[in-house]
Amino acid sequence: MILKMKKEDLSTFLDSVKEWGELRGPTKKEGRVTYSRVDSLSQMDLKAARTIIPPKKFLYPPRFTMFDYDQDGYTERLGDVPKRVLFGIHPCDIHGILIMDKLFLETYKDPYYAERREKTLLLGHSCIPDDKCMCIATNTDFVAEGFDLFFSDLKMFYLVWVGSTKGHDLIRLKPELFSRELDKNDILNYTEYRKWKNSQFKTKIDLTGMPDIFELGYGSPVWDQLGDKCLSCGQCTMVCPTCNCYNVVDEVELGALEGTRDRFWDSCMFREYSLVAGGHNFRDKRSDRLRLWYTHKLQAFIGEFGKPACVGCGRCVETCPVEINVVTVSTALKEQEVGK
Amino acid sequence: MTRQSPKVGVYGFTGCAGDQLMILNCEDQLVDLFGATEIRSFVMAKSDNHEGELDVAFIEGSISTEEQLKKLKEIRERAKVVIAIGTCASHGGPQAMKLGEGGWEERYRKVYGNAKITISKAFEAQPIDAFVKVDMYIPGCPIDKGEFLAAVSKLVAGRHPYLYKFPVCTECKWKENPCILYAGKFCGGPLTKAGCGAVCPSYGLPCVGCWGPTDDLNVSSEYKLLKEKGYNPDEILRKLRKFGGAKVAQLLKDVENKGAKA
């Protein structure tokens, strides 16, 4: 279902959704764009292309306690997860969450992720691509599922997609703000908007055929050249909307038998990640670790799920100090030469 | 508790004593700490000290005199586990930034002149693992309370402590800071062990590397990158060596040798 809302009514609507849960949205402070707690629309920056960390942080925090234990057993820490409404999530990040859903909710359901996902509403918002966006190459520039509501900014008004019954419940908090009457002009406007958005991309990469290129380039010296550059800092994995690996560690209270079991983001870029008992490391070389990451994103995931595990958000492009990212790696593999 | 409280000693050599001070600064946990362990010797904290067999010796500071060296070896002999606390004990600290470069005698003369120092013969400061086996490192300048207490709690419980092995950048991303190295600032984050919570970059300041080198570091790439960003080689060497110890010094030497050949 698609509804129509006046631009000026967004603020009133967002005030009303706080009835469901805490409001979160993109904010910009001292050049730092993050999803943060906000009270109203006026505190948000809807023009920012991307946040430093994707919204995965709400569903799967960088470090959190899974459960408290003592001599008698353990108690899950799930009750303290707040109900949240995330507003302003871009299509790429919703695609990222859809991939997280596949990994954490299907074959082996992760209770910590499931609890947070259940208590989080996703209110998407259309965006304007900047010079690092490449979602058009990963087919994630638009989104048809995964959100509760999605707002497309068509200058004079919003077209609002209703993606779930929970999303519909939000509409029912202020039904007078939404209209079901869509006419020919709305369709023309929307078509025009899609064309315009498609024309805005400045990063032109072609990811078709990547599984073949990766297969052909598995032994390519390009990987060693990239490995020489990689700082193993792990930033790419932290900012990637589809990176989901974690480590688990037990903490114990001083002088007691009780403690917590904590979970924190890990990275296959780290040597420790592939270190196993006996001191053997099956990806000791930096180039092997880089190759694993990119093969996973652009080859293996396609084989398993039919789409890449890259949603084209451009965060790796905006973060890696030595310019190792989806654009430079895919280009280097195709051209058999590392740029610069 | 059925487990016996471990006998602990805390010792300081050449350093600012900041790590020992940080232990005393664990105010909320101090009673628990003294309750869960039997602190046999901790000169900075108490006057009633007994030097005997220890389960764990925490050692701060680098070694720079014959007298210190003798004491260090003596502690090692009677301690089951030796833990280096702080970057000086772990990597040498700023006083060891020229380690391996030579010219120590000249630097010594610049500071002390020709004065005859008879207390103990001095030599260039080195980390404690240059002389004795070290079982574990808790680096930091000074150490982080949380990391220290987590490690002690595990030791008391008879379990292996776990410290982050990845670089500062990972914690920096958890704090949602934009990469300042990417932006062109001289940041040592990728070479530096995490544990500080990326405190400097969180205030927009570059990482100076005070936690010392991380386990898996790519000095050569960082060096090249900083050169590309316009920093001069002398400044790069000086800054990276400040807390880098022998490990970074050796890796930088390899970079320079490669550069000379190329």
Mind listing the pLDDT tens digit for each residue in A190-215? 999 999 999 999 998 999 899 999 99
Structure tokens, B234: 């002398």
Does the beta carbon of B95 lie under 8 angstroms from any beta carbon of chain A?
A: no
Q: Which residue stretches of chain B have pLDDT < 50?
A: 1
Inter-chain contact A272–B181, Cβ cutoff 8 Å?
A: no
Does the beta carbon of A38 lie under 8 angstroms from any beta carbon of chain B?
A: no
Residue B1 has a pLDDT of 45
**Length of chain A as a residue count:** 340
Q: How far is A112 from chain B (nearest CA, A)?
A: 19
Q: Which long-range contacts (CB under 8 A, 24 or more apart) does A296-304 make?
A: A296/A268, A297/A242, A297/A326, A298/A207, A298/A210, A298/A211, A298/A214, A298/A326, A298/A330, A299/A210, A299/A211, A299/A214, A299/A215, A302/A210, A302/A211, A303/A211
Q: How confident is the model at residue A340 (pLDDT cuts 50, 70, 90)?
A: low
Quote the ipTM score.
Answer: 0.95
Residues B187 and B205 sit within 8 Å (Cβ to Cβ)? no
Q: Is the pLDDT of residue A90 over 70?
A: yes
Provide CB contacts within 8 A for A314, sequence distance 6+. Answer: A49, A50, A130, A132, A133, A134, A203
Residue B260 has a pLDDT of 59
Of A52, A252, A254, the CB nearest to B178: A52
Of A32, A231, A286, the CB nearest to B177: A32
Q: Please, which residues bridge with residue B54 across strands?
A: B79
Q: Which of B30, B153, B170, B179 to mutate to test the interface with A (most CBs of A within 10 A)?
A: B170
Residue carrying the six token digits 């062990």: B193
Inter-chain contact B32–A255, Cβ cutoff 8 Å?
A: yes
Structure tokens, A37: 């707690």
Q: How far is A238 from chain B (nearest CA, A)?
A: 6
Provide CB contacts within 8 A for B12, sequence distance 6+. Answer: B19, B20, B43, B44, B59, B60, B61
How far apart CA A58 and CA A51 sit, in angstroms, is 13
Helix (H) or strand (E) holding A18: none
Of A53, A232, A251, the CB nearest to B173: A53
B109 by Cβ neighbours in 10 Å (0-12 / 13-18 / 19+) ranks as exposed
Q: Is the pLDDT of residue A173 over 50?
A: yes
> Which of chain A's residues have a Cβ under 8 Å away from the Cβ of B215?
271-272
Runs of H (alpha helix) within A36-110: 56-59, 91-101
Does the beta carbon of A245 lie under 8 angstroms from any beta carbon of chain B?
A: no
Inter-chain contact A321–B225, Cβ cutoff 8 Å?
A: yes
How far apart CA A179 and CA A206 sit, in angstroms, is 40
Q: Of B128, B23, B22, B31, which is closest to residue B82 (Cα–Cα)?
A: B128
Residue A323's identity, in one-letter code, is E
Q: Which of A231, A261, A266, A274 to mutate to test the interface with B (most CBs of B within 10 A)?
A: A231
Of A249, A255, A319, the CB nearest to B36: A255
How far apart CA B152 and CA B156 sit, in angstroms, is 6
Query: Cα-flanking dihedrals φ and ψ of residue B17, to 5°?
Result: 70, 10
Of B149, B153, B167, the CB nearest to A234: B167
Residue carrying the six token digits 């974690």: A246
Provide CB contacts within 8 A for B99, sequence distance 6+. Answer: B92, B124, B125, B126, B245, B246, B249
Does the beta carbon of A31 lie under 8 angstroms from any beta carbon of chain B?
A: yes
Kindly list the distances between the CA atom of residue B172 and the CA atoms of A140, A291, B217, in Å, as whole numbers in the listed order.
28, 24, 17
What is the residue-wise DSSP string for B94-126? GGGTTTTS--HHHHHHHHHTT----SS-EEEEE
How far is C-alpha B191 from the chain's CA centre?
A: 14
Of B149, B173, B218, the CB nearest to A238: B173
Q: Which of B169, B177, B205, B254 to mutate to test the interface with A (most CBs of A within 10 A)?
A: B169
Name the residue of chain A whose CA is nearest to B31's CA. A254
Q: How confident is the model at residue A254 (pLDDT cuts 50, 70, 90)?
A: very high
* pLDDT tens, position by position, B164-198: 999 999 999 999 999 999 999 999 999 999 999 99
How far apart CA B256 and CA B220 sit, in angstroms, is 9
- Stronger pLDDT, A155 or A89, i.e. the higher one: A89
- Average pLDDT rounded to a whole number, residues A315-321: 97
* pLDDT tens, position by position, A97-132: 999 999 999 999 999 999 999 999 999 999 999 999
Does the beta carbon of B1 lie under 8 angstroms from any beta carbon of chain A?
A: yes
> Which of chain B's residues have a Cβ under 8 Å away from the Cβ of A228?
218, 220-221
Sorted by where each begins, the domain ranges of chain B are 7-156, 168-261
Does the beta carbon of A21 lie under 8 angstroms from any beta carbon of chain B?
A: no
Round the average pLDDT of chain A to a whole number and report it: 96
CATH fold, domain B7-156, is Rossmann fold (3.40.50)
Does the beta carbon of A29 lie under 8 angstroms from any beta carbon of chain B?
A: no
**Length of chain B as a residue count:** 262
> Which of chain B's residues have a Cβ under 8 Å away from the Cβ of A239?
173
Inter-chain contact A233–B167, Cβ cutoff 8 Å?
A: yes
Beta B7-12 vs A63-70: how paired, if at all? unpaired
